Structure 1
Amino acid sequence: MTAAATDLRLERIEVFVFRAPADPPVQTSFGIMRDRPALLLRAIADDGAEGWGEVWCNFPTVGAEHRARMALTYLPPLACGPQWASPQVCFEALTEKLAVLAIQCGEPGPLAQIVAGLDIALWDLLGRRHGLPVWKLLAPDLAAPAPVPLYASGLNPTAPEKLAAAKRAEGYRAFKLKVGFGAERDEANLAALREVIGPAAPLMVDANQAWDLDEAIAAGRRMARHDLGWLEEPVRADTPLADWARLAREQPLPLAGGENLAGLAAFDAHIGAEGLSIIQPDLGKWGGFSGCLAVGRRTLAQGKRFCPHWLGAGIGLTASFHLKAAVGGPGYVEVDANSNPLRDLLATPVFALEEGAVHLGMKPGLGVQPDLGAAQAFRIPL
């Protein structure tokens, strides 16, 4: 694809906020999500081509509305008008232009997230314009992607075996339980899950930064008998690298994390260090495709596993499929096991699961479209 063919000039950016009830509420060690928010961006070029992106917005409770107003305020003046040679150039320019504001207002996360959502939209736009899927734009030499393995995430601590049984019947073959609710409860839940999914099925756990270092070491040793694929965020994401290394040495489970990292320097530090062996960036939280593609490739180069994180609606989930397909290598994409109408309504057609994996075809861009009419009941006016 020539440079001229990839030039982008945006005419406008539109913002859409949705909220749907969370049934059941999503429980973590640090809080509960009682509804499911979604923040979509539509980027429209001067030739009429459009693309869709999604911004991470699960927390705090008003996070979607707040980020939406930030996106409306800051993205159009910076992104609309100039001619961009590529989404990557736009991503880097906006990141630089917003860097001082991020320091001044103390909100580097939300600003990075709206830039990430726009980056996703620009890659979708470019794919639609040229009739190519995003995975092909990201990996031009890839003739066809391998099936993308998925795992059913978000198994809450209340009767997780029931949800796991339902997801297994749907075709999921790997699962992740939320832990950090007391040793007795965590152990009972793991035993119940193994009864349902069997001894050989991949099973992981996510503590959502629940423990200090000594507690995490004890938990890893205690839970190892359940043959777990990884222990995710057992300690705070900003724990020093030396402590992550100690944690890796003193308990037997592989360590996973990355959804709360931002910037290539932060990812490179963990990719090149002892500690995390599974790297999990969230492309709607930082980086979009332009940042996370590099993270994925550097992860594989160091012999570690690349497993994109996602907990949101359907555009971000589908983008995560394309990211993983382009990077390749062992690992999974996360799919929330709980019901979420916004996951289905905001990315149609809904993905098809076959024996634990999704197959991406040649549909242009992300290959999905939000059904704004069907989702209207969940839309929040700004």
Structure 2
Amino acid sequence: MTIAKIECWVFRAPIERPVAAAVGTMTNRPAVFVRVSATDGAWGWGEVFCNFPTVGAEHRARIMREIVAPLAEGTPSDRPADTWRQLTQRVRRMALQAGEPGPLAQVIAALDQALWDMQARRAGLPLWRLLADTPQADNRVRLYASGLGPEQVAETALAKQAEGYTAFKFKVGFQPDKDIADFEAIRAALGPRAQIMIDANQAWEPENAMRRIAALERYEPYWIEEPLAADEPLDTWRQLAESTPIPLAAGENIRDHANFDAAIQNGHLRFVQPDVAKWGGISGCVAVARRAEQAGLVFCPHWLGGGIGLAASMHLRAALGPAGLVEVDANPNPLREQVCPLTNLNDGWLHLPDTPGIGVEPDLAALARYLVAVA
């Protein structure tokens, strides 16, 4: 049961309105879907993070084809965590030499997702059940509508509320007056008890973050995500956390177990948000999630891509029980909607299907209009 073949499809779906955040803007929705096949006929799907930079999707597909796939083919397909560790170690020096530890980690993360999907399909189980090691685990996940703004924040929130969402996250990190006006509008639209989070996307410098957060405290955000750059010193993060009653959230831009452990032990986070397509895949992120929850923190997987990674993220959260929330991008994206449609959302909760694996099988023929490359 070794890895026989690794295939990549690069998609770009046009959108009418760019998706903007403090860190950058997407003028289309990219995705890199990865299918791993094994010698016993089993297969599984993964997804690579590729939102940024604008050439990221094609670049990561070539990394998979020319660097990672030749290393992975012929290796065991039934021990995902071992394969992830071995591949990570094998490309370590190349990542340092090229200055690209992130892209290489993202490609390996997608391969790891696919191997876990494959394992669950072999077992005839949904992935959450294969991963579950707690009696609290079940097929329920609570979703929140993410990526609201920077325009029409209140209108988008109300539309998502009508779809069944009960928690919402919108973008800040723009001009102070706009951040305040957006929060006033969304709070007025949703009411005083609505669960509203804010995401600064690393926008603020340490010297002004306290002031920017203080101006938003009266609106009672449930958390503030990435108010600082992910690589700011831990002491700086802790000082910021101690300066505000608003809980801090981060994790999508943390890489490596040591860095996650340091962040968990530092005490500045209440919500830990690893991303299965940015680092670690299922193997790395489930380990981080378990350590975070053992430390009394809440695991809320980050996701802002296509439907494969969303499905994997939901299964990962379900495996640890019904606490926490799973991020669902509120912006239009056919590469998410056509691959992992979300139906029967009830009071913010979704029941995952009993389908083996992550429960999705991309219809490549239906997605062909968005295809830009095959690797």
Q: TM over 0.5, yes or no?
A: yes
Residue in 1 that maps onto 2:183: 190
8 A contact 1:22–1:33 mirrored in 2: no
Deviation, structure 1 residue 227: 1.1
**Structure-2 residue corresponding to 1:5:** none
Q: Does 1:81 align with 2:62?
A: no
Aligned to 1:259: 252
Aligned partner of 1:362 among 331, 342, 354? 354
Which of 295, 303, 312 in structure 1 is aligned with 2:288? 295
Amino acid at match of 2:353: G
Counterpart residue identity of residue 236, structure 1: A
- Tell me which residue corresponds to 1:3: none
Note the residue ranges of structure 1 that are not aligned, 5 or more in a row: 1-7
1:329 offset after TM fit, Å? Answer: 5.6
1:161 aligns with 2:150: no
**Residue 134 (1) aligns with residue 130 (2):** no
The structure 2 residue matched to 1:66, chosen from 59, 64, 69, is: 59
Q: Secondary structure of the equivalent of 1:354?
A: coil
How far residue 221 of structure 1 moved from its aligned partner, in angstroms, is: 1.1
Look up the SS of the partner of 2:144 in the other structure: strand
Q: Which runs of 5+ in 2 are unaligned?
A: none
SS of 1:24 mapped into structure 2: strand
TM-score, structure 2 normalization: 0.97
Q: Note the C-alpha offset of 1:327.
A: 1.9
CA contact (8 A) 2:263 2:269 kept: yes
CA distance in 2, matches of 1:80, 1:39: 19
1:179 aligns with 2:172: yes
CA distance in 2, matches of 1:165, 1:264: 38
**Secondary structure of 1:272's match?**
helix
Identity of aligned pairs, percent?
Answer: 51
Match of 1:343 among 331, 336, 340: 336
- Is 2:99 the counterpart of 1:106? yes
Q: Report whether the alignment pairs 1:378 with 2:370.
A: yes
Check whether the contact 1:154–1:177 (CA below 8 A) recurs between aligned residues. Answer: yes
Task: Note the C-alpha offset of 1:142.
Answer: 4.5
Change in Cα spacing, 1:329 to 1:168, as seen in structure 2 (3 Å) is closer
Q: Secondary structure at the match of 1:271?
A: helix
Runs of 4+ in 1 over 4 A off after TM superposition: 140-144
The offset of 1:277, in angstroms, is 1.4
- Please report how far the alpha carbon of residue 346 of structure 1 lies from its aligned counterpart in structure 2 after TM superposition: 2.8
SS at match of 1:276: coil
C-alpha RMSD of matched pairs (Å): 1.4
Is the 8 Å Cα contact of residues 171 and 355 (structure 1) preserved in structure 2? Answer: yes
CA–CA distance in structure 2, aligned partners of residues 288 and 117 of structure 1 = 6
TM-superposed deviation, 1:22? 2.8
Equivalent runs, 1:24-39 vs 2, <5 Å: 24-39=17-32
Paired with 2:365 and 2:2, the residues of 1 have a C-alpha distance of: 28
Post-superposition offset of 1:141:
5.5
Secondary structure at 2:197 match in 1: strand
In the other structure, the counterpart of 2:44 is 51
| Aligned match of 1:315 | 308
Q: 1:352 to 1:380 in 2, by over 3 A?
A: farther
Q: Tell me which amino acid in the other structure corresponds to 1:363.
A: T
Residue by residue over 1:104-130, the C-alpha shift from the partner in whole angstroms, topping out at 9 and shown as x without a partner, is 111000000000000000011111122
